[in-house]
Amino acid sequence: MPRTLPLRLQFSDFGVVGILAFVAAVVPALNLLTSPESALHVSTFTVTLLGKYLCYALLALAVDLVWGYGGILTLGHGAFFALGGYAMGMYLMRQIGDRGVYGNPILPDFMVFLNWQDLPWYWWGSSSFPFAMILVVVVPGLLALVFGWFAFRSRVTGVYLSIITQALTYALLLAFFRNDMGFGGNNGLTDFKDIVGFDLHADATRAALLAVTATILGAAYIGCRAISASRLGRIVVAIRDAEDRARFLGYRVEHFKLWIFVVSAILAGIAGALYVPQVGIINPSEFSPLNSIEIVIWVAVGGRGSLYGAILGAVLVNFAKTQFTGLFPEAWLFVLGGLFVLATLFLPRGVVGIRRPSWAR
Amino acid sequence: MGKMNDGPMNVAAPGMETKPVADAAAAAAADLLHGAILYLDGITVSFDGFHALDDLSLDIERGELRCIIGPNGAGKSTMMDVVTGKTRPDVGEAYFDRQFDLLKMSETDIVKAGIGRKFQKPTVFEQLPVVVNLELAMRAKKGVWATLMVRLNGEQRDRIDAVLATIGLIDCRHQHAGALSHGQKQWLEIGMLLMQEPQLMLIDEPAAGMTHQEVERTAELLVSLAGERSVVVVEHDMDFVRSIARRVTVLHEGRVLADGSMDTVQNDPKVLEVYLGS
C-alpha cells in the first residue's frame, strides 16, 4: 500500500499557495528594496498588518478543520492561540535579558516588581528558542488532548461542547489575569527586544516574520487539504453527518474527534506564536471568550468546510475591522454581529459559496 | 422478477444440514450453543420498570434469513440494540459465533467481530459520494493513523465495484449520497453493510418508504445475501415478510410469542389476537 498522502491539487490550492508565495516573496521585497517615495513601496505598517491577518488566517484554518469538517463548534480556540502566544512571549521576555527596566539578567521585569527571587520552574528553558518552539506545539496540543479526551469520551456534543469550550477559555482568562500565575498578570508579556538575535523593530525582521508566517500558513493549508482528502478526513466528515453510523462502521469516533481537535489546537498555537512577535504583546485579553467567537464568524463569513474560505474570511473580516474601528470604533461589534447574521441567513456557504465558476470547481 | 427458486437458503429448518462451515471441532463447540451464529438467552432490559425485553431467548442459525415481526413496542429495536452493544441488558446471555460474549464487548468491537446493522431510517453519509460511503464501510484498519495514510488498492476498488453492481448504484457512484432517492439510500446502506463483510446482518425495516418495485428488488437482494451470511430482518410490511422469510419470529411485549413458518405463525391464535387480528 503506498504510504503517500492522497492529495490531488485543485485550482483553489494553486490560488492559495500562489497568493501566499507572492506575499512571502514579493511584499517583503517591496518593503525593503524600494524607497518610501516609490509607488510600489509597501510600508512596514502594512507588512505587520498583513502578518497579523495571516496569523488570524492560520487560526481560522484551524477552526475550519475542526468545525467545518469535524462539525465540532469550538468557541474556545482563542485559548490555544493565546497559549501558543504565551509560549513565544516567554522566550521573547527572556531575550530582553538585562535590558529591562530593572536590569535583571534572569528575571523578567514583572517578576522583579513582584519581588520574586527565582524563576518559576515553568519558565525553565524558556530562553532557548528550540525549547520555546516545542512548548508552542506541546502546550496547546496537550491541553486539547486532555480536554478533548474528557469531552469526547463523555460524548459531549453540539451546543454543550461549545459552552464548555467557552468555559475553558474563560477559566484561562481568569487564571492568566492573576499575578501569581507568573505570566505578567493583566499586563501580560511585552517590551520585546529581539528574536533569535534579530531586532524586532527592524524592517527586515518584520518583513522576514511576514514571509515566515505566509510560508507556514501555506504549508498548514496544504497539510489541512491533505488531511481533508485522506480517508481520515472523509471519516471526520462522516462523523459530523452521522456519528452513530460511523460508530457502527467500526470507527472509534472519539479518537477521530480527538485527533482533529488536537491537530487544530496545535495549528492555533502556532498561529499565536507567530502573532506575538509581530504585534509585540500577549496579554490575558487574548483568552477572552469574545475572541473565540470572532474566529467562528470569520470562518462562517468566508465559508466553512473549504479551508480557503476560512483564510479569506479571516482576512476580509479583519481588514473590515481595521477600516471600521478607524472610522466608527463603537459600531464595530454591531457590524460584526450583523455580518454573522447576514452570512448565516444569506450566505450559508460563505463568501466562497456565492458563485463558483465552472472552471474552478 | 422476484421469484426465489432454490437459492442457498433452504437452511431455516431446525436441525439443518449445515454446510462444510461446521467441521467436527466446531460442531463439538457448537453443541453448547446449538450451532447458532447468534444466541440470546434470558435477556431482560427494563427502562424505569418497563420491560422492553422480558426474558427473551432467540437463536439465529448460520446462513439463515430470519424475519422478526411484532407490534410497536414489542422490543424489536431493543433486541437489535442489545446485539450491537448499544443497550446493555439487566440479565441474560448473548453470544455471537459461539465465541464472542456480546455483553462484554464495545460497539466497535462487535462490528469488528462481524455484526453489521442497518438502521430503520436510512443513514448514509449524505455529504460524501456513494463510492466514499462504501469505502468507509469497507473492512479495513480503522485506526486514526492508519486511515490518514491509506489509499484504495486495486482489489478494494474491485470489491467496491462489485458491491455497487449488487445494489444497483453503479451509475450514481460519484453522486453525493444525499442526492439519492429514499430507496437508493436504503440500498446504499445495505451495500455499506456488505462492505463490512459481516457474518450477521441486522436490517431494520428495509422496505419502509419504498415503492413497490423497490420493495421487490430489496426482497431479491436480501434473499441473495442469505446463505453465505445470516440475515435478520425486522419488518412491518407483511407482504414483504411473506416474500422473503423462511422462518418468522413474532415478538410481543419483549418475549417470543410465536416462531415458525409464515403460515404457522399467521394461523397461530395468539398471534392473531395481538398482532394480525388487531
Does the pLDDT of residue B75 top 90, yes or no?
no
Q: Do B196 and A250 touch (CB under 8 A)?
A: yes
Residue B12, pLDDT > 60, answer: no
Closest CA to B188 of B135, B111, B236: B135
List B201's β-bridge partners, or say none.
B116, B231
Give pLDDT, residue A2.
Answer: 43
Fold of the domain built from segment(s) B63-84+114-276? Rossmann fold (3.40.50)
β-pair type (B230-234, B65-69): parallel
Which chain B residues contact residue A250 at CB under 8 A? 108, 111-112, 142, 196
Within an 8 Å CB–CB cutoff, is residue A237 touching chain B? yes
Q: How far apart are CA A322 and CA A316, in angstroms?
A: 10
Q: SS3 of A299, please?
A: helix
For chain A, the domains span: 11-360
Chain B positions touching A6 (Cβ under 8 A) are 151
Residues of A in contact with B126 (CB under 8 A): 241-242
Number of CB atoms found within 10 A of residue A200's CB: 16
Query: What single-letter DSSP state applies at residue B127?
Result: T
Cα(A356)–Cα(A303) distance, rounded to whole angstroms? 12
pLDDT for residue A272: 98
At residue B246 the predicted structure's pLDDT band, cuts being 50, 70 and 90, is confident
The Cα–Cα gap between A166 and A61 comes to 19
Mean of pLDDT values over B211-227: 86
What are the chain B neighbours of A259 within 8 Å (beta carbons)? 144
CB within 8 Å: B136 and A238: yes
Alpha carbon distances (Å) from A75 to A133, A170, A291, A332 = 25, 10, 9, 20
Tell me how far apart the alpha carbons of residues A23 and A26 are, in angstroms, rounded to a whole number: 6
Q: Which residue of B has its CA nearest to A305?
A: B127
User: What are the domain boundaries of chain B?
Assistant: 63-84+114-276
ipTM: 0.85
One-letter amino acid at A270 equals I
Mean pLDDT of B25-43: 67
Per-residue pLDDT at A355: 63
Residue whose grid cell is 492561540:
A81
Q: Are A256 and A239 in contact (CB under 8 A)?
A: yes
Q: Is the pLDDT of residue B29 over 60?
A: no
A149 at B interface, C-beta within 8 A: no
pLDDT at B265 (0 to 100): 86
Closest Cβ–Cβ partner in B107, B147, B148 for A248: B107
B3, pLDDT greater than 50? no
**B127/A241 touch (CB, cutoff 8 Å), yes or no:** yes
A247 vs B contacts (CB less than 8 Å): 107-108
Which chain B residue's Cα is nearest to A256?
Answer: B144
Three-state DSSP class for residue A226: helix
Angle at B24 between CA B22 and CA B26, to 5 degrees: 55
Q: Does A113 touch chain B (CB under 8 A)?
A: no
Average pLDDT, stretch B88-104? 91
Shortest Cα distance, chain B CAs vs residue A209, angstroms? 31
Flag if B107 and A249 touch (Cβ within 8 Å).
no
- Residue B155 has a CB neighbour count (10 Å cut-off) of 8
What one-character DSSP code corresponds to residue B174? T
What is the value of pTM for the model shown?
Answer: 0.83
Torsion of CA A304, A307, A312, A317, to 10 degrees: 50
Contact flag A238-B148 (C-beta cutoff 8 Å): no
Asked whether the predicted pLDDT for residue B7 surpasses 70, the reply is: no
Q: Residue B135 and residue A247: Cβ atoms within 8 Å?
A: no
Cβ-Cβ contacts under 8 Å, B87 against chain A: none
Please, what is the end-to-end C-alpha distance for chain B in angstroms? 32
- What is the full per-residue pLDDT of chain A (361 aa) written as tens digits? 444 445 778 888 999 999 999 999 999 999 999 988 888 999 999 999 999 999 999 999 999 999 999 999 999 999 999 999 999 999 999 999 999 999 999 999 999 999 999 999 999 999 999 999 999 999 999 999 999 999 999 999 889 999 999 999 999 999 999 999 999 999 999 999 999 999 999 999 999 999 999 999 999 999 999 999 999 999 999 999 999 889 888 899 999 999 999 999 999 999 999 999 999 999 999 999 999 999 999 999 999 999 999 999 999 999 999 999 988 888 888 999 998 899 888 888 888 888 654 444 4
Any B CB within 8 A of A247 CB:
yes
- Helix H or strand E segment including B34: none
Q: Report CB contact under 8 Å: A251, B108.
A: yes
Contact between residue B25 and residue B1 where contact means Cβ atoms under 8 Å apart: no
Whether residue A361 lies within 8 A of chain B, CB to CB, comes out as: no
For residue B148, give how far its alpha carbon lies from the nearest alpha carbon of chain A (Å). 5
Beta carbons of A256 and B144 less than 8 Å apart: yes
Q: Tell me which residue in B111, B126, B143 faces A241 most closely, judged by beta carbons.
A: B126
Burial B17-44 (b: 16+ CB within 10 A, else e): ebeeebeeeeeeeeeebebbbbbbeebb
Interface test with B, best of A235, A249, A260, A349 (most B CBs within 10 A): A249
Predicted local distance difference test score (pLDDT) of residue B34: 55
Contacts of B200 in chain A (CB under 8 A): none
Minimum Cα–Cα distance from B115: chain A residue: A248
> With the C-alpha atoms ordered A199, A204, A209, A215, is the resulting torsion angle positive or negative?
negative
CB contacts, 8 Å: B111 with chain A? 248-250
Q: What is the pLDDT of residues B151-180, one digit of tens each?
A: 889 999 999 999 999 898 999 999 999 999
Q: Compute the residue count for chain A.
A: 361
Give per-residue pLDDT as tens, A299-325: 999 999 999 999 999 999 999 999 999
Distances (CA, A) of A333 to A39, A151, A321, A325, B4: 34, 31, 9, 9, 68
Q: Say whether pLDDT at B208 is over 90.
A: no
Closest C-alpha to B260, from B67, B40, B36: B67
